[in-house]
Amino acid sequence: MDPIFTLQWSEFVLAERLQEDLPKRHGYSVWIPLSRQEKGVDLAVLKRRDDGMTKTVTLQVKASRTYRTAEPKREATQRHAFHTWFNRFEV
């Protein structure tokens, strides 16, 4: 049985920040698709205009990956257990 609903942490943080910056009183809504099968869509921001029309922008969130750090060669060396790596994309 599939989980009822899951949300990546990075998507949750972005949705929360968008809701703070784009308040409902200004006509904005932040939507999260309930189906993970929506390829390329993690969030949607809707803006209701005064004429009743709605403009929609879809977003895809790219997050970092976390990797386990290799054991150091020297016993005296202390490292963090995990490290992150951020991809960079040409825009």
What is the per-residue DSSP string for 21-86? HS-GGGTEEEE--S-TT-TT-SEEEEEE-TTS-EEEEEE-----EEEEPPPPSSTT----SEEEE-
Instruction: Tell me the pLDDT tens digit for each residue of 3-33.
Output: 677 777 888 889 999 999 999 999 999 998 8
Q: Which amino acid is at 67?
A: Y
CA distance 91 to 86: 15
- Residue 89 pLDDT greater than 60, yes or no: no
Could you tell me the pTM of the whole model? 0.61
CA distance 12 to 6: 10
